[in-house]
């Protein structure tokens, strides 16, 4: 059940949330990126703040207008970043003073090995891009987890059906070591830019804590309900 507005059941809780998609520069005019709108992470931050938590929201690239309510919220401190490296620094810093850390950001898995300082031009010949893997930020946060701190991860997966979705979610949960993993199915037309979302929340043991098909705010409240029951 979602909290009634004004119910401050998260009062005193310090929360760090990341949202949006990182961009990894290729040259001064190009980047590697992804389709994250930043809505779900921002809704998670706003829901926590509405329920009384003090929130630090680290936002990478988000769609226009998505951050408006968060930027105005008296209990949200907003910080903007661009690359995975910047996001990692900001979240590592935020996590040091947080009771709950939620990595909702879509981190680009790779960056180019060497950023070109001049625009790449066709006339100079088309070479392939050398890619290197970005650090796994949430795995680092789990490794540095303080006593009692709760780390929440998100996994957007393509899957043929619910069984495959849960199987992929459980595998990722084990690999990441997070306390809660929110799993949602994405496709070319589902999950990313949409207003609604279906999210299955798994606990550390892989059990389903909640299964929410609703607005991104309802999904956010279901996650905070799970966190509140663990306090």
Q: Which residues are annotated as a binding site for CTP?
A: 109, 119, 135-138, 154, 172, 176
- Please work out the total of residues on this chain that contact ligand CTP, with binding judged by CB under 6 A: 12
Stretch that binds ligand CTP, among 2-10, 92-100, 148-156, 192-200 (CB under 6 A): 148-156
Could you write out the DSSP letters of every residue in 69-115?
A: HHHH-TTEEEEE--SHHHHHHHHHHHHTT-SEEEE-SB--SEEESS-
Q: Does 38 bind ligand CTP (CB under 6 A)?
A: no
C-alpha 35/C-alpha 23 separation (Å) is: 11
Q: Give whichever of 50 and 157 is closer to ligand CTP, judged by the CB atom.
A: 157
Q: Which of residues 152-191 bind ligand CTP (CB under 6 A)?
A: 153-155
As given in the structure block, the two tokens for residue 144 are 């540095």
Mention every residue, 6+ apart, whose C-beta is less than 8 A from residue 127. Answer: none
Minimum CB separation of residue 181 from ligand CTP in Å reads 8
Distances (CA, A) of 127 to 93, 116, 124, 198: 37, 12, 9, 41
Q: Which does 46 bind (CB under 5 to 8 A by kind): ligand CTP, Ca ion, none?
A: none
Q: Looking at the chain, how many residues does it have?
A: 231
* Interacting residue with ligand CTP among 40, 42, 134, 212 (CB under 6 A): 134
Quote the crossing angle between the two packed helices 216-229 and 39-50, to the nearest 10°.
50
Q: Which residues bind Ca ion (CB under 5 A)?
A: 109
Q: Which does 203 bind (CB under 5 to 8 A by kind): Ca ion, ligand CTP, none?
A: none
Q: Does 9 bind ligand CTP (CB under 6 A)?
A: no
Stretch that binds ligand CTP, among 64-72, 99-107, 113-121, 213-221 (CB under 6 A): 99-107
C-alpha 160/C-alpha 163 separation (Å) is: 8
Q: Which does 153 bind (CB under 5 to 8 A by kind): Ca ion, ligand CTP, none?
A: ligand CTP
6 phi/psi in degrees, rounded to 5? 90, -15
Q: Which does 134 bind (CB under 5 to 8 A by kind): Ca ion, ligand CTP, none?
A: ligand CTP
Active site residue 34: yes
């Amino acid at each position: 059940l979602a909290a009634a507005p004004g119910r401050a059941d998260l009062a005193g809780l310090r929360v760090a949330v990341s949202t949006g998609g990182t961009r990894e520069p290729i040259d001064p005019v190009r980047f590697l990126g992804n389709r994250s709108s930043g809505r779900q992470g921002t809704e998670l931050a706003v829901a926590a703040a509405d329920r009384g938590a003090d929130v630090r929201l680290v936002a990478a690239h988000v769609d226009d207008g998505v951050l408006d309510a968060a930027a105005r919220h008296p209990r949200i401190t907003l910080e903007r970043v661009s690359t995975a490296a910047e996001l990692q620094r900001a979240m590592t810093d935020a996590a040091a003073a947080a009771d709950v850390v939620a990595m909702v950001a879509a981190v680009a898995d790779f960056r180019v090995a060497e950023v070109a300082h001049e625009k790449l031009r066709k006339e100079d010949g088309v070479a392939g891009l050398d890619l290197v893997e970005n650090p796994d930020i949430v795995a680092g946060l789990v490794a540095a987890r303080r006593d009692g701190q709760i780390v929440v991860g998100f996994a957007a997966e393509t899957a043929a059906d619910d069984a495959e979705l849960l199987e992929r979610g459980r595998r990722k949960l084990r690999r990441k070591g997070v306390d809660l993993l929110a799993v949602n199915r994405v496709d070319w037309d589902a999950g990313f830019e949409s207003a609604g979302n279906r999210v299955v929340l798994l606990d550390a043991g892989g059990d389903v804590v909640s299964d929410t098909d609703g607005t991104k705010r309802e999904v956010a409240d279901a996650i905070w309900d799970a966190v509140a029951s663990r306090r």
